[in-house]
């Protein structure tokens, strides 16, 4: 099993370290050749409109869409969640997204950078709380009936899964706890 980490923007190297700590063979994905060598993909945080632009200019958007449509497991955090959503409530007209999970999201819903926060989350499948970091995080504003909720914060969905797609509005890679990545790898 080889897991790719989209390496165009964001904390991709930290995701890679987290996955390697779990024994995964990893590849930083910057080209279609890189993408073709992986069995699963992690889409890190960053700025979603910039990431959408970079995916287009690197000619990775469509090949990733094809792989997702063919059930490649994918895990999106923060901006990755936004790109995987069915709809972006406040996205730019030129922003592309995958529609891979039946959720609608609002960008930066938890506030600006200075309003970032950390909290403990109860997560389905984990025996103890997960310490989560929310940085300009998106919020799920609509949840499809086939989407499995794995965690909520103050009633709002912050971790979810549908089929081979998993998304988090927080940054699990910025902690020393690899259990969220482990949940993803269980699906690979």
Catalytic residues: 78, 171, 173
Element (H, E) at 166: strand 165-168
Handedness of CA 116, 118, 120, 125 (dihedral sign): positive
172 three-state secondary structure:
helix
Q: Which residues of 61-96 are buried (b: 16+ CB within 10 A; e: fewer)?
A: bebbbebbeeebbbbbbbbbbbbbbbebeebeeebb
55 exposure class (CB count in 10 Å sphere: 0-12, 13-18, 19+)? buried
- The token duo for 95 is 């922003």
Find the radius of gyration of the CA atoms of the chain. 15
């Amino acid at each position: 099993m080889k897991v790719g980490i989209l390496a165009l923007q964001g904390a991709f190297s930290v995701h890679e370290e987290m996955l390697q700590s779990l024994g995964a063979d990893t590849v930083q994905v910057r080209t279609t050749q890189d993408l073709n060598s992986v069995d699963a993909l992690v889409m890190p945080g960053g700025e979603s409109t910039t990431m959408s632009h970079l995916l287009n200019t690197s000619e990775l958007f469509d090949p990733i869409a094809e792989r997702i449509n063919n059930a490649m497991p994918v895990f999106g955090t923060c901006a990755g969640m936004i790109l995987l959503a069915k709809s972006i409530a406040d996205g730019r007209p030129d922003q592309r997204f995958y529609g891979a999970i039946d959720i609608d999201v609002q960008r930066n819903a938890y506030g600006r950078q200075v309003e970032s926060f950390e909290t403990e989350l109860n997560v389905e499948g984990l025996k103890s709380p997960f310490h989560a970091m929310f940085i300009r995080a998106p919020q799920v504003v609509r949840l499809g009936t086939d989407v499995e909720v794995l965690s909520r914060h103050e009633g709002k969905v912050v971790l979810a899964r549908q089929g081979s797609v998993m998304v988090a509005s927080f940054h699990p890679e910025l902690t020393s706890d690899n259990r969220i990545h482990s949940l993803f790898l269980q699906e690979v």
